[in-house]
Structure 1
């Protein structure tokens, strides 16, 4: 029988590489009886954070600290204020998610416990508001931290991980990026550690066009909700703007309206005509 490692690693414990490639994540199989008291406590803390049981997380970390090394104790002490704030305002954790994630990103983005907190807050915010709602809560400084935590979570194969299906963290991170770009959030793609995004910066287009270009490159899907009749009319009745960003936003809106159509109709013809006017080269890629 293969023995478990004497010093198993926690999810998110590895640090970012110098070249900002995605974080490698390892997960310990949750078998406390094989791993000993300290390792079992670490697993329990992770599970408590994933369950958003902030008070239990604090109590378990306090127990873990009693036998911790100096470095481990520093990590626990660094995480405790954020967990205390969450435990004190548990019903409002979604409302404060953006602020808390921003604080973590600014002060302790590599802290193992706070990376789990970020993953849990992201999961709760997505369930409550979707990717567009979460994008509205984040600022540009916090976005790389969130993106990297979400994509790293795909390496967490535990049954109780933050995103339950293989690859879901990466798919949701891409959708979140799409919605943040639609909102005009100034994001450095280089900081995200996702080399497939290089095609966007290499396009020569301004970031305002990235939502459309990313959809054409199959980096993300177009949102499935159908625009209302009023929204479609607003798109079709708007004159072609002179401003590049305004043209990009209008193209994206026309693109969404076109993709939402189930069969050939007047809207299909008019949205295609609008996109051809707004950006002939991107329109030509539609086929």
Structure 2
């Protein structure tokens, strides 16, 4: 069960980071035997925002991309399945180009990015995946030239701001270090707030499991202070700007991360929500559906 919780977090997290820079489909179906791509990304050539704040992850956004994140170590069969998806969707795009009497430019060829916490050297070598340290650094193992893409071995990435947004999808100590680094970012960082909200949602989902494993228990303990810290910061700032308004903004941001822009129905409930203690409110906002939240606070 927890693997699916982590898988859903990975998809939601990547969607949150990548949405400003292009169009995403999750999942995307491909032809032939029923298969689904975890996350399909099409870059927006007219996007006014620079992806530079995403560090190393930003370098994957210059062409259409398949993102396949794995909570457990990727297997040889899973890599083959991912490569097959890449080949099938590449063929689909070429056929579409021919129907439009054009050709598929090399810059528009889709890339495959497999994200795995660990991978053995023999497994990487069996697929011809090698490092390009000069251009990409450690941890990124590229397929041979004719197969655009790479296996990102998250636990081999150096601990730096450049790799932060990928390390959040790691496991154990690597993920916890990334959470520590994320919490230290400036509050006005473009992605910090939403990433912390998604991590707190992950915590709430993990807490629904009656028998979490030791790794998930440690993750829950590490995530527990984060939301209270956010609300505490909002309350301290509220001494200057109005405590209730700051708390309202924190809760509204959380609701928007879950359900999109707030409509009148949810907005009208904020005054009631801000009167609830954080320890009581947080689990409700993370676990209840939109309809249940409206019913609970109406």
Give the TM-score taking structure 1 as reference length: 0.34
Give the TM-score taking structure 2 as reference length: 0.33
Hey, which of these two has a bigger chunk of strand by percent?
A: 2
